[in-house]
Amino acid sequence: MLFKDVLVDETLKSQLINLVKENRVSHAQLFLGGAGTHKFALAVAFAQYLCCEHPSDTDSCGECPSCKKFAKLSHPDLHLIFPNCNTQEVKKDSESKLHIRAFTDFVMQNNYHLDYAKWLDILGGANKQLTINIRDCASIINQNSIRSYEGGYKIYILWRVDKLYYDAAPKLLKTLEEPENKTLFILLADSADTILQTILSRTQLVKIPAMRPEIISRELVANYGASQETADDIANIAEGSFIKALELFENNGEVHEMLTIFEFILTSAIANKMGDLGKMQFSELRAKIETLAKTDREKQVMFFTYMTRMFRNLLMLNTNNAAIIKATAEERAFAEFFKKYITLKNITPILDECNKAIFHIIRNGNSTLIFTDFYLKLSAIL
């Protein structure tokens, strides 16, 4: 992985490169940033730069034997550690190195955008508990006492260090404190809340900011075949996460569909309030609610979450905060038209109703009733 292909801000790359140039590389670093940041790619690029035989001022050479091995993630001094469990292939005593082939395939196939849910699927699905376990830690400690194969750095990248099994942590901590010379640990985590305090205190923190919309958009066009318009729309609502952007891209059309239903519900609620909801419209509304109620609960929650975002957008537009709204072009046009109905006065009760609906859906309430009730409450509040 070359720095030029890592989707983080250039200043962050320069900071890391300067650490190498000034010989200030701390032996244990914690890369902290949301799941949808390109932090795994950044960690590998950093490791590659440290091992490159002919690095330039801004990047690895990409040509030397070390870089070539890094490109395949097969450099003998690069050790990848990640949450794992027993599977069909690894029947017992699971540890990262037994899954390394599957993991490197996963990394490559996803262009280094590591989605934990996808990795969980590969290892066997939702009921599995993945951890970085005691055997992983023992391997690190054993490796640590051996010299590097190629005479340079030995580098350990631990993806999702928040999954470090509690009882395995003490072993690792001692190594983090007193590593052998020329050893680098790069620990990756999505949020500081879930990491052991003892790990936080032993590492140098590198914060990875959310991905900027223009970077998301450019990447979707360049490597995923998105049109500029779609890419811009998605980048605006992906909240700085490339994983979320990909999800939206794969479900392209879903946002449009949700907007259509939302528009219908809102129009009907307004008409109902005015007392001119026609019979036709009412039966159409009932049919729409029936259809929604038949989708799975995850989808229903998604729809209410979607409405929550759109109600906020309407309020933002109505209160002249257009600059901060997150919306596709179609949603913006919609919002311009409906903004006058959402005010500082009614936003709180409306969002309360959305939250209540989500609460009941998660607890297996009757979906038709929940949607109908929401519609009537909305109509009364507007």
User: Looking at beta carbons only, is 70 or 311 nearer to Zn ion?
Assistant: 70
Pattern of binders to Zn ion over 9-48, x per CB under 5 A? Answer: ----------------------------------------
Separation between Cα atoms, residue 375 and residue 289, nearest integer Å: 9
Least separation in angstroms between residue 186's CB and Zn ion is: 18
- Residues 261 and 303 sit within 8 Å (Cβ to Cβ): yes
Provide, rounded to whole angstroms, the least separation between the CB of residue 17 and Zn ion. 14
Q: What is the largest CA-CA distance in the chain?
A: 80
For the bound state, the minimum distance from the C-beta of residue 24 to Zn ion, rounded and expressed in Å, comes to 21
For Zn ion, which stretch binds (CB under 5 A), given 55-63, 156-164, 234-242, 311-319? 55-63
Give dist(CA 379, CA 367) in Å, integer: 18
Kindly indicate which of the ranges 60-68, 88-96, 165-173, 310-318 contains the residues binding Zn ion, using the contact rule CB under 5 A: 60-68
Return d(Cα 341, Cα 20) in angstroms, integer. Answer: 56
Name the residue nearer to Zn ion (CB basis): 65 or 278.
65
Number of residues that bind Zn ion (CB under 5 A): 5
Selected range binding Zn ion among 51-59, 241-249, 277-285, 287-295, rule: CB under 5 A: 51-59
- From the list 60, 84, 203, 236, which residue makes contact with Zn ion (rule: CB under 5 A)? 60
The interface region with Zn ion, picked from 62-70, 258-266, 297-305, 324-332 by CB under 5 A, is 62-70
Nearest approach, Cβ of residue 152 and Zn ion (Å): 11
CB of 60 to Zn ion, least distance (A): 5
Select 74 or 319, whichever has its Cβ closest to Zn ion: 74
CB-facing half-sphere around the CA of 317: CA atoms within 13 A: 20
* Nearer of residues 182 and 326 to Zn ion, judged by Cβ: 182
Residue in 1, 2, 42, 67 binding Zn ion, rule: CB under 5 A: 67
Binding range to Zn ion, per CB under 5 A, among 58-66, 142-150, 296-304, 326-334: 58-66
Bridge partners of residue 80, in order along the sequence: 157
Q: Do 122 and 88 form a contact (C-beta atoms < 8 A)?
A: no
User: Is the CB of 13 or the CB of 309 nearer to Zn ion?
Assistant: 13
CA 4 to chain centre: 21
Closest approach of Zn ion to the CB of residue 188, in Å: 23
Q: Does 71 bind Zn ion (CB under 5 A)?
A: no
- Cα separation of the two ends of the chain: 53
Angle between helices 367-381 and 279-294 (to 10 degrees): 130
Complex with Zn ion: residue 3 or 371, whichever CB lies closer: 3
Which of 52, 243, 258, 266 is in the footprint of Zn ion by CB under 5 A?
52
**Ramachandran quadrant class, 187 (left: phi over 0; alpha: psi -120 to 50; beta: rest):** beta
For residue 82, what are its two tokens? 């990640």
Give the separation between CA 91 and CA 193, rounded to whole angstroms: 33
Stretch that binds Zn ion, among 22-30, 63-71, 190-198, 262-270 (CB under 5 A): 63-71
**Beta carbon of residue 97, minimum distance to Zn ion (angstroms, whole number):** 25
Distance between CA 184 and CA 181 in Å, rounded? 9
Taking the least distance from each CB to Zn ion, the nearer of 30 and 67 is: 67
State both tokens at 86.
């027993």
Q: Say whether residue 64 binds Zn ion (CB under 5 A).
A: yes
Q: In angstroms, rounded to a whole number, what is the distance separating the alpha carbons of residues 347 and 311? A: 7
The letter for the amino acid at 140 is: I
Whether the CB-CB separation of 35 and 188 falls below 8 Å is answered with no
Q: Which is nearer to Zn ion, 5 or 254 (CB)?
A: 5
CB 37, min distance to Zn ion, A: 25
Looking at the DSSP assignment, which residues form a beta bridge with residue 156? Answer: 79, 185
Q: Of 166, 213, 188, 186, give the one whose Cα is nearest residue 33.
A: 188
CA distance linking residue 10 with residue 73, whole number of Å:
23
Write down the least CB distance from residue 50 to Zn ion, Å: 10
Q: Which parts of this chain interact with Zn ion (CB under 5 A)? A: 52, 60-61, 64, 67
